[in-house]
Amino acid sequence: MADPTGFLKYPRRDMPKRPIDERVGDWREVYADVDPAERDADVSEQATRCMDCGIPFCHSGSAGCPLGNLIPEWNDLVRRGDWEAAAERLHATNNFPEFTGMLCPAPCEAGCVLSINQASGGPVTIKRVEQAIADNAWERDYARPECAEVITGKSVAVVGSGPAGLAAAQQLTRAGHDVTVYERDDRLGGLMRYGIPEFKMSKKRLEQRLGQMRAEGTRFVTGCEAGVDVTVPRLRERFDAVVLAVGALNGRDDTTTPGRDLDGIHLAMDHLVPANKECEGDGPTPISAEGKHVIIVGGGDTGADCYGTATRQGALSVTQLDQYPRPPTERDEERSPWPTWPYILRTYPVHEEGGQREFAVGIERFVPGTGDDAGHVRHIDLRTVRVHKDPASGRREVFPVGDEVRRIPADLVLLAIGFTGVEPMRVLDDLGITLTPRGTISCGADWQTSAEGVFVCGDAHRGASLIVWAIAEGRSVASAVDTYLTGTSELPAPVHPT
């Protein structure tokens, strides 16, 4: 039985971070190394803040966890110090809780009833409890391989090794299928490997899980592009089903602003991928922010990753631009009694490390240097803008406000303005896959694409989204594939195709 007054006894305490001066000097995770016993005692107090609500909005409803994580159950187990049972309950709904613990923006905390009233001290630190359970599980060997008891004789190819592909592969392997994951890059992990910087999540967490999956029997083939290095006829001949978890990495470009073709202007992933490869020991990135005035266009997660990367590369200045107005930093109690997430300002640890953010601004033009420098961006002209979203069509329009134009220095501009769907791929053409108008892969209610026996999950289906949705879709598609192959499935399906 939870302590209904725990939140009155203990203030909310987030995961402690390393000092800013220290962490901007390296690529290690921003969070402090804490003695495990101290961590467990502190997190136990945080878990005590959970009231075990009759209707736990943290793991149900539109604002809660798409995985259906059993949050009040494991909060109570942590409160009582039963970390092994907590690990079992956490892994019952989430294959990779350390990935979500480090990377998810926590819709569960927005859904927590304690987020409604600031006098409560804020929502339960669900993410922190989740991360501590996962760390504890690895330290005490509670995250052991779960090998299938029965082998089905069926085989599945999973194309892509991001969180959706890995979740699907692990579920299908545990259900007794022979699963091979194909990854075109030289290392496994998809966006978690080359999109997410080391300071946000150490690759050792990824390696731990990959080790567990190998021990369970999942096979991995890297440096192998499906449709090219392993052809579609070969995939069809060798496997009974195929899961496409190829992500949605077609970066949105700025095709209208004058000066876009100047040197020094890049898509965000063109900055992040080589920077992350450098961290893996692959040699210096060709797009470093060192000694440069850096402008990041776009106020989302990818922009924040560029922000922290540019800071660590030694940028002269870092400025992140957002077309939307600055949201309030706290809920406006006068205006509404309801939680305002995501309408309050989202900040990331990187925003504490220097640099600045500008809101309600748009780029009028990219300005070149002079003389020999005339082909390179050196400034941008900014003006105040207002964004109007048509409620009927969802179309966004951006209008200038006033006549004032400001010029600020810009030696490196990174466009983090979203993604437009899956990249062109031979495997999609050769399979005859139908795309949606949004550039994602269309599927039926059973996650099956226009190609018989070929399924889709994650960003490739949903469009660029949260890691927690990728894992939820990976788990769900595994259930659908299991049903397709065997006629029935006991695997959970937490979400359905939209």
By beta-carbon proximity to ligand SF4, the closer residue of 111 and 251 is 111
> Tokens representing 144?
């052991």
Type of residue found at 467: I
Provide the binding-site residues for ligand SF4, judged by CB under 6 A.
Answer: 50-53, 56-58, 71-72, 75, 112-114, 124, 126
Closest approach, Cβ 53 to ligand SF4, in A, equals 3
Closest approach, Cβ 101 to ligand SF4, in A, equals 15
DSSP state of 293: E
By beta-carbon proximity to ligand SF4, the closer residue of 127 and 312 is 127
H/E element holding 74? helix 71-79
Closest approach, Cβ 47 to ligand SF4, in A, equals 9
By beta-carbon proximity to ligand SF4, the closer residue of 52 and 446 is 52
By beta-carbon proximity to ligand SF4, the closer residue of 134 and 272 is 134
Q: State how far the Cα of 336 lies from the Cα of 330, in Å rounded to an integer.
A: 12
What's the CA angle centered on 289, arms 287 and 291, to 5 degrees? Answer: 130
Do 452 and 432 touch, CB atoms closer than 8 A?
Answer: no
By beta-carbon proximity to ligand SF4, the closer residue of 122 and 418 is 122
By beta-carbon proximity to ligand SF4, the closer residue of 112 and 443 is 112
> Tokens representing 363?
């780029």
By beta-carbon proximity to ligand SF4, the closer residue of 110 and 188 is 110
Alpha-carbon dihedral of residues 321, 326, 327, 329, nearest 10 degrees? 100
Closest approach, Cβ 77 to ligand SF4, in A, equals 13
Closest approach, Cβ 50 to ligand SF4, in A, equals 3
- Rounded to a whole number of angstroms, the distance between the first and last alpha carbons of the chain is 37
Q: State how far the Cα of 350 lies from the Cα of 195, in Å rounded to an integer.
A: 16
> For residue 69, which of 488, 465, 471 has the smallest C-alpha distance?
471
> Tokens representing 380?
């941008």
By beta-carbon proximity to ligand SF4, the closer residue of 134 and 181 is 134
Q: State how far the Cα of 330 lies from the Cα of 111, in Å rounded to an integer.
A: 16
By beta-carbon proximity to ligand SF4, the closer residue of 52 and 88 is 52
Backbone dihedral angles phi then psi of residue 111, each to the nearest 5 degrees: -80, -20
> For residue 30, which of 312, 255, 227 has the smallest C-alpha distance?
312
Q: State how far the Cα of 255 lies from the Cα of 408, in Å rounded to an integer.
A: 21
Closest approach, Cβ 107 to ligand SF4, in A, equals 12
Q: State how far the Cα of 368 lies from the Cα of 69, in Å rounded to an integer.
A: 51
Closest approach, Cβ 55 to ligand SF4, in A, equals 8
By beta-carbon proximity to ligand SF4, the closer residue of 70 and 363 is 70
Closest approach, Cβ 2 to ligand SF4, in A, equals 7
Closest approach, Cβ 7 to ligand SF4, in A, equals 7
DSSP strands (E only) in 338-479: 356-358, 361-368, 377-389, 396-400, 406-409, 412-415, 454-456
In three state form, how does the secondary structure of 149-192 look? CCCCCCEEEEECCCHHHHHHHHHHHHCCCEEEEECCCCCCCCHH
Closest approach, Cβ 6 to ligand SF4, in A, equals 9
By beta-carbon proximity to ligand SF4, the closer residue of 54 and 283 is 54
Q: Which residues pair with 384 in a beta bridge?
A: 361
Backbone dihedral angles phi then psi of residue 361, each to the nearest 5 degrees: -130, 150
By beta-carbon proximity to ligand SF4, the closer residue of 110 and 245 is 110
> Tokens representing 149?
């008891």
Backbone dihedral angles phi then psi of residue 16, each to the nearest 5 degrees: -65, 140
> For residue 123, which of 47, 186, 175 has the smallest C-alpha distance?
47
Closest approach, Cβ 114 to ligand SF4, in A, equals 5
> For residue 247, which of 458, 441, 455, 469 has the smallest C-alpha distance?
458
Closest approach, Cβ 37 to ligand SF4, in A, equals 24
By 3-state DSSP, what share of the chain in percent is helix, strand and coil, each rounded to 5? Answer: 35, 15, 50
Do 454 and 477 touch, CB atoms closer than 8 A?
Answer: no
Q: Which residues pair with 203 in a beta bridge?
A: none
Closest approach, Cβ 413 to ligand SF4, in A, equals 41
By beta-carbon proximity to ligand SF4, the closer residue of 114 and 417 is 114
